[in-house]
Amino acid sequence: MAYSEDDLKKELKDQEYKYGFTSNIESEVIPKGLNEDVVRLISSKKNEPQWLLDFRLKAFAHWKTMVEKRWAHVSYPEIDFQNISYYSSPKAKKEVSWDEVDPEMKATMDKLGISMDEQKALSGVAVDFVFDSVSVKTSFQDKLQELGVIFCSFSEAVKNHPELVKKYLGTVVPPTDNFYAALNSAVFSDGSFCYIPKGVRCPMELSTYFRINEANTGQFERTLLIADEGSYVSYLEGCTAPSRDENQLHAAVVELISLDGAEIKYSTVQNWYPGDKDGKGGIYNFVTKRGICHNHSKISWTQVETGSAVTWKYPSCILKGDNSIGEFYSVAVTNHYQQADTGTKMIHLGKNTKSTIISKGISAGFSNNSYRGLVQIHKNATNARNFTQCDSLLMSDQCGAHTFPYIEVKNSTAKIEHEATTSKIGEDQLFYCNQRGISTEKAINLIVNGYCKDVLNKLPMEFAVEAQKLLEISLEGSVG
């Protein structure tokens, strides 16, 4: 019998998470619960200076006054913040040489398909591997050091470059920004720090792999990336997480600072555990990502979102400087009972600022996939330009695809375009392919790939491969 759409639906329904496994590494976990002492404990475990402890305490004090906002088009049970352990680190001390790394961890990385061996071989990608909360291994440090590029874990940056961290931490995403940003600011465990000096073009793609491993350990990373005047950096972030029954919370904060003439390309492949096919388990992914552009600078966000039970994420650009550019390219796939509410904010403050938003949503199963975006043109942003396109593809009659754009214009020279479409794969399109000897499965693959091409093209080569793999896993049967 020929492969039909019903077969596809069945396959989609039965598709299980492929990367579900747990590695047994002893971890140091502090008891569950959250209070001021826990914040102090995290800070002292990391030997942090007083100013950072003050930053945490101030954020925590503010968080206590905040109420979780539920405006996003997602639903999930109340989170018990006292039932989460806020710190865990692998017992193994920081390794100096690659050989000394815990073999089990190496195996984990192998299973993920991102082993250091592979990475080393692959065109010089420096990986800052975050296993749970503490950075374990950083490679290619020497080459980067020659150029003056700083790429290290957040805690190292606090120790070695406090002046930079102090100057920029919390300037783009203030601790008071929102409920989860405040929580992150109070209890963040570790993360990545990156500084590109003036005029340096970072010769390799920088990448970090996040992974939640310890059960019931919320991860609160903090990434701070500064591109100084005239520099360029391409930064990759990707993640997979093992199968767990209890919902795990992930609330990261990412801050990008693009100074005059700099360019930051930030790519994400997100594949946290999405829960099983009955919607049980899965990660809650509540992320605050924002970048600020100074004169003539550019920030480009690219994301492929296939995982998490609930995603709540709006990578944004504040186009503060004149002639700055913001871009957002996104593919979001939801299957089974996944829920995603994602999009971007483009805040145009400077003159001649430009922004482009391309968002592609694919929903299957019983999932709900929403695009929520804000384009704001302020009064002094003369000649601002925005183009937005958000398309949704529906692959079952039980799923939902939604679009909530907010467009606010206060300047008469602005040119704003927004368009959105929602449809399913056309029967005529499939018929056309069938007629030319292409099987239904291949035809769906072809159409979905073509549909996402605008975004996948923006990913760096290594990532594009992984992204396609993830699309396959998320929608196996329809893709590839």
Partner 1 sequence: MENINTTIATSEKKDKFLEVLSTLDFTTENPTFLQHRITSQNELNELDFPTSKTEYWKYTRVGKIVNNTYTLGQPEKIDVSDFLIPNLDAQVLVIINGHVVADLSDFTSVDGVTLTSLSHAKKQNFEGLKKHFNQFTQDKKEIFLAFNNAFHTDGIYLEVAKNKIIEKPLHIINITTGNNTISQSRNLFLANVGSQVKIIESFVNVNGEKNFNNHVSELIISENAIMEYNKIQDKKETNFSIVTEQVYQEANSNFTINTATFNGALVRNNLNIEVDASNCETNLNGLYLGKNKDHIDNHTVVDHKKPHCNSNEIYRGVLDNESTGVFNGKVFVRPNAQKTNAFQQNNNILLTDNATVNSKPELEIYADDVKCSHGSTTGQIDEEAIFYLQSRGISKKGALKLMINAFAKDALERISIEALQAYIDNKIEERFI
Residues of the shown chain interacting with partner 1 in the complex, contacts defined by CB under 8 A: 71, 377, 379, 392, 394-424
295 by Cβ neighbours in 10 Å (0-12 / 13-18 / 19+) ranks as middle
Q: State the minimum distance, in angstroms, from the CB of residue 377 to partner 1.
A: 8
Nearer to partner 1, 14 or 419 (CB): 419
Q: Residue 250 and residue 180: Cα distance in Å, rounded? A: 9
Closest to partner 1 by CB, 112 or 414: 414
**Stretch (H or E) spanning 223:** strand 222-227
Closest approach, Cβ 389 to partner 1, in A, equals 10
> What's the DSSP call for residue 479?
B
Of the two residues 97 and 412, which places its CB atom closer to partner 1 in the complex? 412
Beta strands (DSSP E) in 65-133 are 88-90, 126-131
| 208: three-class secondary structure by DSSP | strand
Residue 437 CB, nearest distance to partner 1 (Å)?
26
Q: How far is the CB of 108 from partner 1 (least distance, A)?
A: 38
Minimum CB separation of residue 382 from partner 1 in Å reads 8
CB of 310 to partner 1, least distance (A): 18
- Using the minimum distance from each CB to partner 1, give the nearer residue, 135 or 440: 440
Q: Per the structure block, which two tokens stand in for 137?
A: 């291994």
State how far the Cα of 127 lies from the Cα of 119, in Å rounded to an integer. 8
CB of 427 to partner 1, least distance (A): 9
Q: What tokens were used for 400?
A: 């939902």
Q: How far apart are CA 343 and CA 131, in angstroms?
A: 28
CA atoms 283, 137, 41, 254: torsion sign: negative
Q: Tell me whether residue 16 is exposed, middle or buried, using C-beta atoms within 10 angstroms of its C-beta: 0 to 12, 13 to 18, 19 or more.
A: exposed
The residue among 188 and 366 lying less far from partner 1, judged by its C-beta, is 366
Based on CB atoms, which residue is closest to partner 1, 92 or 416?
Answer: 416
Question: Among residues 9 and 137, whose Cβ is nearest to partner 1?
Answer: 9
- Helix or strand holding residue 465 (H, E): helix 461-474
